[in-house]
Amino acid sequence: MSKKIETINPATGKIIASYNNISVEEINSRVKSARNAFEKWKNVDISERTVFIRNLGRIMRKNKDEYAALITEEMGKPIRQSLAEIEKCAWVCDYYADHAESFLRDELIPTEFRKSFVSFEPLGIVAGIMPWNFPFWQVMRYAIPAITAGNVGILKHSSVCLGCALKIEDAFKQASFPDNIFQSIIGDYTAGEALIQSDIDAISVTGSVNTGRRVAELASKDLKKFVLELGGSDPFVILEDADLNQTAYMATQSRLLNNGQSCIAAKRFIVVKDIVEKFTKLFVENIEAEVTGDPMNPKTTVGPLVRESQRQILARQVDDAKSKGGHILTGGNAINREGYFYEPTLVSNVSHQMQIVKEEVFGPAGPIIVVNNEEEAIIEANNSEFGLGASIWTNNIERGIRLARRIQSGIVSVNEMVKSDPRLPFGGIKHSGIGRELSEFGIREFVNTKSIVVKDITSKLLVE
């Protein structure tokens, strides 16, 4: 492992802080302390555990401004979106504080036996390998249900947002959780690999497809449970009967949320040809109305990409489209200013030979794909290695539901952009992942679903 990790403000390119990379010995020590904490925490009644969870939600709201400013400083999200992220973290705390007890209550199963039931029991230490793009929310999304269920957590956060990792750990302390129920370790990818191979019981990962493959490879050696939430190339399907003004606005918000750096952002805009000209005009107008600039300014709606390397990847994808006949409708260039900014970009006349269509685009750029009818739209929507989210835009609700059932993804929204929601299961299929987070389904991912069967004892008098 390298000795130092630096965090950088993507709006300025300047170093924020420097951190020591954790050693394997220290990782194992942290895991041992987590194991000791788990042996006590698993026996705490869930009604008591939810008191701590609710306290954590209060801490999130109390420190909202501080946490949001740190998110924006470390990864460049516009400050208004960072504030919304912290509010969502408080919401997930409230949600599980309200519902976890019913989610994990024993379930009676009618059988011929005296009693048969299913018990949901914690697994132990659940490691989180988390990304930079929603640095508080994605941690809380995994940690809150896991810890409420009686597990303990160890986080290996992205090297981009180590300040956020430490603040989250501190928030658990402020909420008066017992020691070592939640810990953050500071390190690069080698620390994450060492954590997976240590004495933990399960792993939750949000990241790239390659990260998911590597985690699955390491975890499978000891048959450790894992949940993977990976990439997406979400289709945004616009049918001829959609409200185009509203749809163009929502297309803009979905593509540019988080500076275009979201797994569930709309990334392929599939438009029926009868309306493509009108929709495209409205889409371009909406894109050009967005405000790119200092992410700390409340008026800014699009900030920088997280790193120069990410900006170069996006530029490569856009330039590839240009070279293969794509038409740049707006944007198409890096912005010549301090930081890692790129113009919000739309590309038409695209094909499946272009990287901007084939690959996940993690930045403020998107292709417009023209189809003849709804049947072609569904075929195009499913023509991807990913299957995380999708949206359909139509004034016919029954039509939208019918087509939603045909799309291959974990989430489909009709007349709404795709969002994660504590009340609904979140996750994908195909290369977008394995397993689910959030809702009742998410809290049951990291438990032992145990069947218990009780039979009456009968005695017989033996007569010789």
Active site residues: 229, 263
Q: Measure CA 65 to chain center.
A: 22
Query: Strand, coil or helix: what is 445?
Result: coil
Take residue 285 and report the two structure tokens written for it.
């107008």
CA angle 233, 238, 239 (to 5 degrees): 140
List the helix and strand counts (H, then E) for the chain.
15, 20
Asked if residue 31 lies in contact with residue 154, where contact means CB atoms within 8 angstroms, the answer is yes
Number of residues that this document lists for the chain:
464
DSSP β-bridge partners for residue 121: 448
Distance, CA of 67 to CA of 397 (rounded, Å): 39
DSSP β-bridge partners for residue 229: 206, 433
DSSP 65-93: HHHHHHHHHHH---HHHHHHHHHHHHHHH
In degrees to the nearest 10, what's the CA dihedral of 165, 304, 307, 261?
70
- The closest of 342, 339, 340, 341 to 328, measured between CA atoms, is 342
